[in-house]
Chain A
Amino acid sequence: MTPRRQRLITVALILSGVGLAVGLALQAFEENLLFFYSPTQVLAGEPPDGRKFRVGGLVATDSVSREPGQLEVSFDVTDNQNTVRVFYNGVLPDLFREGQGIIANGTLEADGSFRAEEVLAKHDENYMPPEVAEMLAAQGHPDQSNKP
């Protein structure tokens, strides 16, 4: 075995060893790496009790209600199977609208609603001019049915 081949094997072994270790670590931490829970997971009791966590999903159509003259807002977050009512007092991001994906960070109340301290909009990977979006919506394109 030439020294060159030996070094090649050493480098390959180190890389695969570290790769395996990181892979196993990520596997083990998978739950904690979850950035948000879906409403179905929330209803199934998966998020930790009494701790802050994030819930993510689409803002259900016709579910947004605002208190007149206040920042207090509430809306349903849905994954098209289950919904969680979210209450929030603060400024919403630009992309917040009905049908838009959002992530709310906060705690679950005793009555099963969610009190958010922060609401983030989640953008999808679709980019198009408004005319195209309107056209797709008019045609009832599945991707666009939830867009304004």
Chain B
Amino acid sequence: MYLPNWMHKLASPPHFFRISGWLAPWLLWPAVALIALGFYAGLVLAPADYQQGDGFRIIYVHVPSAYLSTLIYGLMAAAAAVGLIWRMKLAYAVAAAAAPIGAWFTFLALVTGAIWGKPMWGTFWEWDPRLTSELILLFLYLGFMSLRTSFEEPTKGDRAAGLLAVVGVVNLPIIHYSVIWWSSIHQGPTIKKLDAPSITWEMAWPLLTLILGFTLFFAGLLLQRVQAEVLERERNARWVTEIMRPGIEGG
């Protein structure tokens, strides 16, 4: 039940604040480069699909967004669990900072899916297991965000919302396996299978580039949001007044 020393050190807000301030640009600039490269390759270089024509290119936004929507939820729930069990303040700040980013990616995955679904499937929306469980994920994010801010005492909000985040984890395997467990309109995973890729390499590498780019973008954005979250939560702490003083005095 003991955390290693480096974790204790990392969990100290001023320490984390410094490290993430240094690290964020190193994540965000490569992210911008990878996303630019991925979009150019995906929208210009990659060939059109044999059935869907150019319409398939929406996967270059849809797949990274959908992947991140579940990854971020897992991370947010893990952070919330650490907060609940170890009473680590920084972990609550991470969960709070991650939620809106995750909600936006979930929204993006749903919207791009609907735009693609209309011409290809013939419908914007179906109450299909995959689509429904992804919509529930969006509601979990929104529930987490509103529950967290609905208490006068921030710690209570953190704990209540944290519990919701942890309980909502059961939705993640449902989203992932929905297309395998049940007969669904949504196709199975394209790039999960390591043995037989069901996508041509010319179409796959821009997608993989974009997944990496989106993930780095999320990581950099998360660090910056955690910084803001930590500043707000620790606004009365001495280290905050100390690092803020030059700014205040210098106008």
Q: Which residues of A contact B (CB under 8 A)?
A: 2, 4-5, 7-8, 11, 14-15, 18-19, 22, 26, 30, 33-36, 38, 56, 91-96, 103, 118-134, 147
Contacts and interface: CB of A to CB of B under 8 A. Distances in A.
Given A7-B85, A11-B85, A130-B50, 19 more contacts: A14-B166, A15-B170, A34-B183, A35-B126, A35-B128, A35-B185, A38-B183, A94-B55, A94-B119, A120-B126, A122-B121, A122-B185, A123-B120, A125-B199, A127-B56, A129-B200, A133-B50, A133-B51, A147-B51
B185 A128 contact: no
B7 to A, nearest CB: 14
Interface string B128-156: 11000000000000000000000000000
Contact of A125 (B129, B188, B202): B188
A2 B86 CA distance: 11
Interface string B157-190: 0000001001101100010000000111101111
Interface string B62-101: 0000000000000000000100111100000000000000
A36 B50 contact: no
A132 B121 contact: no
Given A2-B1, A125-B187, A132 B200 contact: yes
B52 interface: yes
Interface of B: 1, 47-52, 55-56, 59, 81, 84-87, 119-123, 126, 128-129, 163, 166-167, 169-170, 174, 182-185, 187-190, 198-200, 202-203
A124 B185 CA distance: 9
Contacts, number: 123
B198 A127 contact: yes
A132 B50 contact: yes
Given A35-B128, A35-B129, A120-B126, A127 B119 contact: no
Contacts of A26: 174
Among B56, B121, B174, residue most surrounded by chain A Cβ atoms (within 10 Å)? B121
A24 B152 CA distance: 37
Contacts of B86: 4
B119 A93 contact: yes
A129 B49 CA distance: 5
